[in-house]
Amino acid sequence: MTSRVLMIASILSASCSVAFAGEKSIATLKDMSQIELKYAGFDLREPTTLRIRSTGAGGDQGWTYKDDSMFAYGWILNADTREPVWEMTAHNTQKHRDDRTFDGSITLPAGSYEVYFAACTFVFHSTFAHFNVNIDHRRHPLFGDDSKNKRHFLSWLLDWWNDDIGEAWEKRSRNWGIELFAEETLAGTISSFAPPKVPGGSVLREIGLEDNALVRKGFTLSAPAEVLIRALGEAKAGAECSDYSWIVDTRTRDRVWDMDCHDARAAGGGQKNILTVSSLHLNKGSYVLYCVTDDSHSAADWNVAPPYDPLNYGVSMSIENEKERDAFTTTSYSEDSNTIISIVKVGNNASRSEGFSLKEETRLRILAFGERSNNRRTMADYGAIVDARTRARVWTMDVDRTRYAGGASKNRYIDEEVTLPAGNYIVTYVSDDSHAYGDWNDDPPFDPEHYGIVVSGAGPAFAPKQVAKYTEEKDRSIIAQIVRVGDNADRSVRFSLDRTTRVRTYAIGEAQNREMYDYGWIEDARTGTVIWEMTFGMTFHAGGGRKNRMLNSSIVLEKGNYLLRYKTDDSHAYGDWNTDPPDDREYYGITLYRETAPEEAPTAPEVPQPNSMPAQPPR
């Protein structure tokens, strides 16, 4: 909460009801019309009996509905164990008109406690209607900079609901709250504190998370340590986690801890509130804690009842052993350190690429966000790295290695390290026609700014001098090439060989029902005899739509003059795909490479005929 919210809560909590003779109020949380959560902390030096007087709402039943849950209620939390010791329910309260009241006592042992009262939603019943609406207090004028010119908070309720419901909220919410009383003789043994109480051995706390949060907190351990992790979040039954956390070893990019939402226990309040408590052994090293939340239900605005421990929403880490605790240090962390290639904020129908050169074997980190296709077996938006000379993939964003990236279930990401030898490489990223940066058709991932692919240097041995910029040029080993072929094409290019040569053939085309429709072949330039032809049996899937096929194999051609040809039908080719394009769309067509050293290659190919196209590097 902001300091202004805390100030408001203090003012509203200052008024005390009249205590019975011999009693003194130790906590008063009243009037929930302007704020959805109030709280106070107190320490008991000895076992103490407290009288609780509380008015809330919920637990209603009628002809057309039955609901035992409370939507305005209070509870008391043990500040050390973070477990509830008392809660206001439909079963321990009395019906009083439209609300419910509790007036009773509880004896607590010496210790620290926190009392809460929440009124985050409003449930209104009538014979023919049942309303359950989230009350978003962020629309209250006191939270703005110019409250005099803003409409009253209740005005939007009155506009949307009928007057009776709006008036019912205003009248009832002002009476909701909780008061705690103790005998006056014990007043001197009770002191107060501001919740939440910080646990012993605390080393890192990312709590009070609000909507659309993305926290990256680095830390190091100079020696191994046993760490206790307590995490609160949100998960819906049968769905991916919504608010959750994890820890990554920055040296390997392995997840060393994950908030497993499916094995979490209920955290109180709404059913989607979850809690995990984990004991984790961490080795000496460098780590980063990630915390993410979606666009609703957080410390900013609970859209159902909050968890029992709402102020610790997020992650708390503690180390009991003092020596191990001394080994813990928080550090700054950036997702974009040692960046080599960054293709991010990728929109729809994109095909982007950038090259880099490695002067020696280098360890790389790859972070990529994308979209899983509807069949869930492939990626619709994804990145890849290819060898600039062979066009062979050295890394790809394979759907089976991706993780859930927050938001819609189709959002996926990958964060891993690879080691590549010296050479030239091209990083590519392609997207389909929907759900990408700037035009999401469902909830975006937790880090939309990195939608795309980032390649960075990794490990302590990395140095910027190992990397250089690579601009793809005409490969000297290319003998002949026909690429970026569109529909209804019949293209050819002549080439000559001055000796028997092993030739690598790299081709991408279209096939259906085991028959090729876009394909290439080689003819003897003198006789027109077909020397080699691209057939379905030679090919394998080229990425994208199922009919995209490719080959990358070698043949031996004798000395002589040849004609390289490529033909397409009337649909699905470069620039006019009728399904997802292949991964290497810029090389749609056929390319012949000499498999001997480039300096042994003859001079440039013969001048092509009018219906042919000269070899061109990818854009």
Give domain limits for the chain: 3-193, 202-331, 339-470, 478-600
Residue 162 has pLDDT above 90, yes or no: no
Q: How confident is the model at residue 615 (pLDDT cuts 50, 70, 90)?
A: very low
Quick check: helix, strand or coil at residue 430?
A: strand
pLDDT, tens digit, 9 for 90 and up, residues 15-29: 345 566 688 999 999
pLDDT, tens digit, 9 for 90 and up, residues 299-330: 999 999 999 999 999 999 999 999 999 999 99
Q: How far apart (Å, rounded) are the C-alpha atoms in residues 418 and 398? A: 14
Structure tokens at 55: 């008015």
Answer yes or no: are the C-beta atoms of 567 and 498 closer than 8 Å: no
Nearest to 103 by CA among 33, 44, 23: 23
- One of 2.60.120, 2.60.220, 2.30.29, 2.40.160 is the CATH number of 202-331, namely 2.60.120
Half-sphere exposure of 78 (CA within 13 A, CB side): 11
Q: How far apart (Å, rounded) are the C-alpha atoms in residues 3 and 555? A: 74
The pTM for the full model equals 0.82
Q: How far apart (Å, rounded) are the C-alpha atoms in residues 353 and 410? A: 23
Q: How far apart (Å, rounded) are the C-alpha atoms in residues 394 and 582? A: 16
Q: How confident is the model at residue 378 (pLDDT cuts 50, 70, 90)?
A: confident
Q: How far apart (Å, rounded) are the C-alpha atoms in residues 307 and 232? A: 8
Nearest to 370 by CA among 433, 458, 429, 284: 429
Same fold, 202-331 and 478-600: yes
Residue 343 has pLDDT above 80, yes or no: yes
For residue 600, the model assigns a pLDDT of 45
Question: Class of the 339-470 domain?
Answer: mainly beta
Question: E strands within 359-449?
Answer: 362-372, 379-387, 393-396, 403-404, 411-420, 423-430
Q: How confident is the model at residue 153 (pLDDT cuts 50, 70, 90)?
A: very low
Q: How far apart (Å, rounded) are the C-alpha atoms in residues 424 and 80? A: 58
Least confident range from 226-230, 459-463, 506-510: namely 459-463
pLDDT, tens digit, 9 for 90 and up, residues 237-260: 777 899 999 999 999 999 999 998
Q: How far apart (Å, rounded) are the C-alpha atoms in residues 258 and 289? A: 10
Alpha-carbon torsion 565, 566, 570, 575, what sign?
negative
- β-partners of residue 352 are 429
478-600 fold: Jelly Rolls (2.60.120)
Quick check: helix, strand or coil at residue 305?
A: coil
List Cβ neighbours of 521 (8 Å cut-off, separation of 6 or more). 530, 531, 532, 533, 534, 565
Answer yes or no: are the C-beta atoms of 526 and 518 closer than 8 Å: no
CA distances from 444 to 237, 384, 450, 509 (A): 20, 21, 11, 33
For residue 614, the model assigns a pLDDT of 34
Q: How confident is the model over 363-370, as a mean pLDDT?
A: 98
What residue has token string 């959805």? 36
